[in-house]
Amino acid sequence: MSSNKENVKKSRNLVSAGVFIALYFVVFVIVGTICMPIPPLYLCMLPLIALFASPVYQMLITKAPMHGPIFIAAMLPCLFLLMMGNIWIVVLTGIIAGVFAEIIAGMGEFKSASSNMISYFVFSLNLLGGFLPIWVMREEYFKSTLDRGMSQDFVDKLRAITPGWVLIAIIVATVICGFIGIQIGNKMFAKHFKKAGIA
């Protein structure tokens, strides 16, 4: 009987996890549709998602403190991007970010605030692979334009506006925005959810 009860509790957690994963995905889609068409904003996508998704992530961990849901949440947007014609590397970074976020959150038994925060930083980098094509394609494009006799001058100019350090800047900005997001989330939790007794 007790194992049955345990089972019911587990299924209940999994259903809640599904609901919050869906909410996270919606945040991703909304930020994505705003950012995608505008090239400079496109690079801000990861930090912006990290900023807004943190209450959902914190709720996900509170409602489903188990292994599995975090990984699925990290993978789902990656698979979606893959379907939209993105490079397969995005799935790879999704898996890496998901697994590490799981492990880090699991070290604090999904309850420690600091390990949850660090796991959120790692989790937020899940889509990093989606930005790599800019650099992969760039080198390829340079080669093909040089083949056809375009001047080195253009290549240098294009190279200058897409420098490699942007990738590192994205990572740093994501962590900073994730930190701010977690602070906002904590305030929201203290102000509303803890009072209502659902967190």
Partner 1 sequence: MKNGIRFDPRTKFILLLGVNMLLLLSRSLFLELALFLFCIFILLVDKRYKNAVIYLIAFLLMLFIDRFLSGCFTGFYFTIINFIVYALRRFMPCLILGKWILDTTAVSDFVATMWKIKLPLTVIIPLSVVFRYFPTIKEEWESIRAAMKIRGISFSVEHVFVPLIFSAVNVSEELSAAALCRGLDAPGEHTSLVEIKMSYIDYLFLALFVSITIAAFILKGMGII
> Which residues lie near partner 1 (CB under 8 A)?
7-8, 10-12, 14-23, 25-26, 52, 55-56, 59, 63, 66-69, 72, 76, 82-88, 133-134, 136-138, 140-141, 143-145, 148, 150, 154, 157-158, 184, 188, 192-193, 196, 198
Query: Both tokens of residue 3?
Result: 């194992």
Nearer to partner 1, 37 or 109 (CB): 37
* Least gap, CB of 156 to partner 1 (angstroms): 11
Sign of torsion over alpha carbons 28, 31, 34, 39: negative
Of residues 112 and 138, the one with the C-beta less far from partner 1: 138
Burial of 86-120, coded b for 16+ CB within 10 Å and e otherwise, reads: bbebbbebbbbbbebbbebbeebebeeeebbbbbb
CB closer to partner 1, 171 vs 199: 199
Minimal distance in Å, beta carbon 78 to partner 1?
A: 12
Q: Shortest Cβ distance from residue 192 to partner 1 (Å)?
A: 5
Taking CA atoms, 153 is separated from 127, 130, 142, 159, 192, in Å, by 32, 28, 11, 10, 57
Nearer to partner 1, 12 or 111 (CB): 12
Q: Closest separation between CB of residue 194 and partner 1, Å?
A: 12
Please report how close the Cβ of residue 6 comes to partner 1 at its closest, in angstroms: 11
Q: Which is nearer to partner 1, 108 or 138 (CB)?
A: 138
Write a three-state SS string for 80-144: HHHHCCCCCHHHHHHHHHHHHHHHHHHHCCCCCHHHHHHHHHHHHHHHHHHHHHHHHHHHHHHHH
